Amino acid sequence: MTRVPPSLLRHRIGVEPYAGDSAYGPTYGPRVEHPALVGEAVRTVRAPDGRDVISTAQIIAAPGMDCPPGSRVTLPDGRTTVAISSASHTAPGLPVPASTEVMCE
């Protein structure tokens, strides 16, 4: 399986994976830095609960990045946002690179 080429991942993002809710609100795992390709465009996406939500940032990263919906994401410009959805893309046997795609608020 081919991976997304590192030369295309020109940005650095910080991800604090969503770990669940506590009595004091959402909890997150430790922040991890990842190389990524970030596109900022306004798009309508469907959240895991079925709602239509506006996404203002789309991220492509190496496969296996841990970023479940609800995770805090710090974009290259310093803006902090929340992951709406995360998808792993693979195509075994095809000349298409594997990647992780994250849509953010």
Q: What are phi and psi of 60, to 5 degrees?
A: -115, 130
Note the pLDDT tens digit of each residue in 78-103: 999 999 999 998 878 888 888 999 99
Q: Tokens standing for 38?
A: 């970030």
For 16-36, how does the pLDDT look when each residue is reduced to its tens digit (9 = 90+)?
999 999 999 999 999 999 999
Once rounded to an integer, what is the mean pLDDT over residues 41-68? 93
* Single pTM value for the model: 0.89
C-alpha 19/C-alpha 5 separation (Å) is 29
Taking the C-alpha atoms of residue 86 and residue 40, their distance in angstroms, rounded to an integer, is 16
